[in-house]
């Protein structure tokens, strides 16, 4: 689960939580270290402009961060930190004490005494572009040694810089975090990333088995056509597969002649990285705003009906390690096709403080927090994924168009109708005989279904009727939802 804000094994193997079914087994949080305060409006992207490694942001201070990590770990929800280690703040951030903790910095002279970093700890001398920024994404040294959008690029080949970064990450490990998303990994040399990861401690044995390594996944935008690829980083951990959300959005939207029937070989067959290297998602904090990678095909909570189908498909399908988005709403305003409010930060009070997440009677969120992970359809598909874990992809069916179904061994089965006509089919589910609750239209409560029921006969067959006008034109059943 990718949380836009936090509030009050092996390195390459994700930690599992046995049947902690109502909650994802991990939560990715926004960068927790001190960032520049760009202006009084506090745009969301300021979290990606560090000025120190102190744990202090608008989400809370170190005491509050420790409390959150402890409480989450104690109920089996592990914290993955979004680690911004490629750079510090932008060159235009000025000088002063306008950081989240009040630490002094001077972006012009590249002086960050709260770390400390000085001008000698940045890549200015290595960058060969005229502007000092990345100008040519086909020039590998430029992509990795020059400034990304004006952000001061750290000299990660220096052991001092590597050690300061590792010191920050090890502090988080001591507190109890379970892993890291490595922001902007594409803009660092893979061997520099490896050198930092090699300095990391094993996870805290208060919550994790001795010798357990942090789970690592790296942000590498690789849509093809550039010399830097996701495979360059496989030795360090998983990589973000941005093609996943872009392609799935195109299919669910039925753009460019795509059909759900074509998803039969979804995964590596679509040119994605190997499943055991992939971190997959329908959308993230960048591309749901039109930033980053994916383009207009990306589905988000604004497209709720289609979005729930896409997330349902992702969570049912065995490919990759899945991440569900948890967003906040912002006042979109389009001018010439561009959302001019795409910078807006989290729901805030008049004094700039972040609004609390309120919980509605139906367990969804209020106060403009979207909390997609709490939507019944998505929450129940997280349970589905836990139940079918380790089961083979099976019993594929399609109508040659946009009605498809597939199972996961003898544990679960899911059916979609994304066509413009009603669906009424008998399908082989592979499930034991019995009456099942459809976990999309409702829940199983006290041995009854609050939504639709599905009857599986002794031979595994079941009838599925899904209107093309349904609020959610898909159904899912699993053995833990059997009456």
Give me the mean pLDDT over the 151-175 stretch.
98
Q: In terms of residues, how long is the chain?
A: 483
Kindly tell me if the per-residue pLDDT of 248 is higher than 50: yes
Mean confidence (pLDDT) of the chain: 94
Kindly tell me if the per-residue pLDDT of 19 is higher than 50: no
Kindly tell me if the per-residue pLDDT of 72 is higher than 80: yes
Model confidence at 3, in pLDDT bands (50, 70, 90)?
A: low
- What pLDDT, on the 0 to 100 scale, is given for residue 104? 98
Give me the mean pLDDT over the 288-305 stretch.
90
**Catalytic residue among 219, 222, 372, 472, which?**
219
**CA 162 to chain CA centroid, nearest Å:** 25
Give me the mean pLDDT over the 366-378 stretch.
96
Kindly tell me if the per-residue pLDDT of 275 is higher than 80: yes
Give me the mean pLDDT over the 131-136 stretch.
98
62 is catalytic: no
Quote the percentage of the chain above a pLDDT of 70: 95
Model confidence at 122, in pLDDT bands (50, 70, 90)?
A: very high
Give me the mean pLDDT over the 170-187 stretch.
98
**Catalytic residue among 183, 283, 419, 472, which?**
183
Coil/strand/helix, residue 52: strand
Give me the mean pLDDT over the 290-309 stretch.
91
Helices and strands in the chain: count of H runs, count of E runs: 7, 28
Cα separation, 414 vs 316, in Å, equals: 7
Cα separation, 12 vs 2, in Å, equals: 18
Query: Which residue bears the tokens 């490595």?
Result: 182
- What pLDDT, on the 0 to 100 scale, is given for residue 18? 35
- What pLDDT, on the 0 to 100 scale, is given for residue 351? 82
Give me the mean pLDDT over the 384-399 stretch.
97
pTM: 0.94
Cα separation, 208 vs 199, in Å, equals: 19
Model confidence at 292, in pLDDT bands (50, 70, 90)?
A: confident
Please, what is the end-to-end C-alpha distance for the chain in angstroms? Answer: 29
183 is catalytic: yes
Which two tokens mark 78? 């592990």
The β-bridge relationship of strands 278-280 and 321-322 is parallel
């Amino acid at each position: 689960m990718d949380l836009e804000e936090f509030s009050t094994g092996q390195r390459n193997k994700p930690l599992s939580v046995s049947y902690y079914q109502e909650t994802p087994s991990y939560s990715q949080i926004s960068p927790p270290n001190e960032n520049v305060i760009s202006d009084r409006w506090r745009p969301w992207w300021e979290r990606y402009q560090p000025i120190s490694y102190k744990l202090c942001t608008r989400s809370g201070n170190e005491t509050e961060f420790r409390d959150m990590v402890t409480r989450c770990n104690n109920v089996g929800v592990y914290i993955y930190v979004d680690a911004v280690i490629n750079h510090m703040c932008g060159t235009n951030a000025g000088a002063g004490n306008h950081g989240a903790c009040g630490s002094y910095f001077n972006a012009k002279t590249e002086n960050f005494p709260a770390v400390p970093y000085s001008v000698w700890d940045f890549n200015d001398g290595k960058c060969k572009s005229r502007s000092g920024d990345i100008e040519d994404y086909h020039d590998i040294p430029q992509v990795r040694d020059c400034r990304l959008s004006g952000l001061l690029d750290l000299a990660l080949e220096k052991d001092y810089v590597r050690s300061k970064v590792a010191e920050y990450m090890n502090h988080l490990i001591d507190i109890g975090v379970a892993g890291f998303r490595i922001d902007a990994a594409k803009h660092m040399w893979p061997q520099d990333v490896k050198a930092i990861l090699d300095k990391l401690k094993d996870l805290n044995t208060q919550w994790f088995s001795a010798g357990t390594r942090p789970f690592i996944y790296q942000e590498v935008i690789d849509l093809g056509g550039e010399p830097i690829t996701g495979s360059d980083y496989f030795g360090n951990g998983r990589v973000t597969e941005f093609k996943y959300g872009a392609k799935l959005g195109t299919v669910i939207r039925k753009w460019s002649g795509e059909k759900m029937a074509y998803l039969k070989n979804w995964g590596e067959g679509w040119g994605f990285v190997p499943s055991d290297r992939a971190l997959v998602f329908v959308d993230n904090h960048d591309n749901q705003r039109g930033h980053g990678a994916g383009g207009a095909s990306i589905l988000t909570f604004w497209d709720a009906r289609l979005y729930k189908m896409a997330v349902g498909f992702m969570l049912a399908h065995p490919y990759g390690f899945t991440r569900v988005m948890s967003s906040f709403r912002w006042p979109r305003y389009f001018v010439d096709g561009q959302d001019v409010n795409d910078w807006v930060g989290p729901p805030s009070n008049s004094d700039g403080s972040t609004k609390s997440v309120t919980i509605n009677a139906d367990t969804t969120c209020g106060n403009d927090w979207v909390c997609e992970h709490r939507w019944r359809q998505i929450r129940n598909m997280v349970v589905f994924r836990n139940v079918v874990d380790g089961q083979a992809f099976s019993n594929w069916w399609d109508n040659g168009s946009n009605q498809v179904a597939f199972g996961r061994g003898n544990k679960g089965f899911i059916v979609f109708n994304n066509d413009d006509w009603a669906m009424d089919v008998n399908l082989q589910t592979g499930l034991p005989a019995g009456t099942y609750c459809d976990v999309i239209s409702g829940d199983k409560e006290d041995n009854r279904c609050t939504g639709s029921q599905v009857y599986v006969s002794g031979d595994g067959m079941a009838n599925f009727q899904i209107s093309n006008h349904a609020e959610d034109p898909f159904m899912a059943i699993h053995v833990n939802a059997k009456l």
